[in-house]
Amino acid sequence: MSVQTIRNVFSVETGYRLSDDQIVNHFPNHYELTRKDLMVKNIKRYRKELEKEGSPLAEKDESGKYLYLDFVPVTYMLPADYNLFVEEFRKSPSSTWIMKPCGKAQGKGIFLINKLSQIKKWSRDSKTSSFLTQSTKEAYVISLYINNPLLIGGRKFDLRLYVLVSTYRPLRCYMYKLGFCRFCTVKYTPSTSELDNMFVHLTNVAIQKHGEDYNHIHGGKWTVHNLRLYLESTRGKEVASRLFDEIHWIIVQSLKAVAPVMNNDKHCFECYGYDIIIDDKLKPWLIEVNASPSLTSSTANDRILKYNLINDTLNIAVPNGEIPDCKWNKSPPKEVLGNYEVLYDEELAQGDGADRELRSRPGQSLGPRGGRSRDSGRTVLTTWK
């Protein structure tokens, strides 16, 4: 089902009831994770709750930054948080910010700004004058732009990773091994004169494919496996492993952040497209999560990948190709996982006591961030895996 159909099926007005042999590919309120504004709101709430509980995961450094939960760029909702944003903007007036409409995809409506006057102009120009209407249709998020991305061959790229959630309570999620990098077609420059050039800044294929340097054979894509090999050879194996552990960590934390508010309907599963950007300090940032990652193909390799992705996803959602039954325990045998691997299984983790007692592994970071803790030889917490 498309997200629109899901909304109709689960709406109170239609009164539709799914039967036990019907399984659908979205959770009813998936937007808690996949709308840019709601994802940030839920992650902020999750941090505050952990802080209240005195959880070591919510530990902060001297400057008040989260050591382990600082994985989304500073973000505000517009128009609601306009005054808060202005306050933050004035602290570092040389920063660049990126504006995105909350409910759109494929790079539509996105632009970069580095002056307050540009926002004022935008609010005047936006046809519906969204500063007045407060309508969610025209709600925007504004985030601090990661202007020091890791570059390969001088180009900016991001990661598209596929994550399958079969149930939120208990949380059970899988990572697809065949994610890929999406490269920009034009070399990156932080120069303010290029702020309007989306071929420099936005990795969306929907945008890059219109660039004159777009390559239709490889589509500006590189497998995650190749990225890992590249990082291992240029930065070392340990650094590459730590980076991927941290990426897995932020994905699990983002899912834990929305699990309490997600309508965990037994008829649902969902395959998300996670977008991650790595900065030049090799810190991964969660940019957004897509409810309907593109399943169309831009290259021959892409077609094979998406075909296998759909096949492997269905094998986990509906094991053995049997008639679906929403009452089954959603624990498929290892043999059917295909290119998926278990990322986190809450039941297993609690069985191991991993969630209750924070086990420490000296000198080995499995997840939580914090360059400081690594260098100072402190033990690093692991709460998952």
Q: What is the CATH number of the domain that holds 289?
A: 3.30.470.20
Length of the chain as a residue count: 385
- What is d(CA 279, CA 295) in angstroms, rounded to the nearest whole number? 27
183 CB burial (10 A radius; 0-12, 13-18, 19+):
buried
Distance CA 98, CA 190 (A): 13
Is 322 within the bounds of a domain?
yes
Question: Which pLDDT value is given to residue 368?
Answer: 47
Q: Are 182 and 274 in contact (CB under 8 A)?
A: no
Is residue 331 in a domain? Answer: yes
105 is a domain residue: no
Residue 271: φ, ψ to 5° = -110, 115
Give the DSSP letter of residue 268.
B
The answer to whether residue 193 is domain-embedded is yes
Question: Domain residues for 338?
Answer: 3-31+149-354
What backbone torsions phi and psi does residue 198 show, to the nearest 5 degrees?
Answer: -70, -15
Dihedral sign from CA coordinates of 198, 201, 209, 102: negative
Residue 184 included in any domain: yes
Q: Determine, yes or no, domain membership for 53.
A: no
Total domains, the chain? 1
pLDDT in tens, the chain (385 residues): 999 999 999 988 887 899 999 999 999 999 999 999 999 999 999 999 999 999 999 999 998 899 999 999 999 998 889 999 999 999 988 899 999 888 677 667 888 888 888 887 777 776 554 454 444 446 889 999 998 999 999 999 999 999 999 999 999 999 999 999 999 888 888 776 667 677 676 767 766 777 666 777 676 789 999 999 999 999 999 999 999 999 999 999 999 999 999 999 999 999 999 999 999 999 999 999 999 999 988 888 889 999 999 999 999 998 777 788 888 888 888 999 999 999 999 998 887 765 444 443 333 344 444 444 434 443 444 444 4
- Going by C-alpha positions, the residue among 106, 232, 240 that lies closest to residue 160 is 106
The whole-number pLDDT of residue 136 equals 43
206 and 107 Cβ atoms separated by less than 8 Å: yes
Element (H, E) at 97: strand 97-101
Residue 249's region, left for phi above 0, alpha for psi from -120 to 50, else beta, is alpha
Question: Does some domain include residue 238?
Answer: yes
Radius of gyration in angstroms for the set of CA atoms belonging to the chain, rounded to a whole number: 21
Residue type, 266: K
pLDDT of residue 363: 38
Residue 96 counted as domain residue: no
Buried b (16+ CB within 10 A) or exposed e, 202-217: bbbbebbeebeebeee
Dihedral sign computed on CA atoms, order 73, 289, 263, 318: negative
C-alpha–C-alpha distance, residues 72 and 251, integer Å: 11
Peptide bond between residue 93 and the one before it cis (omega within 30 degrees of 0): no
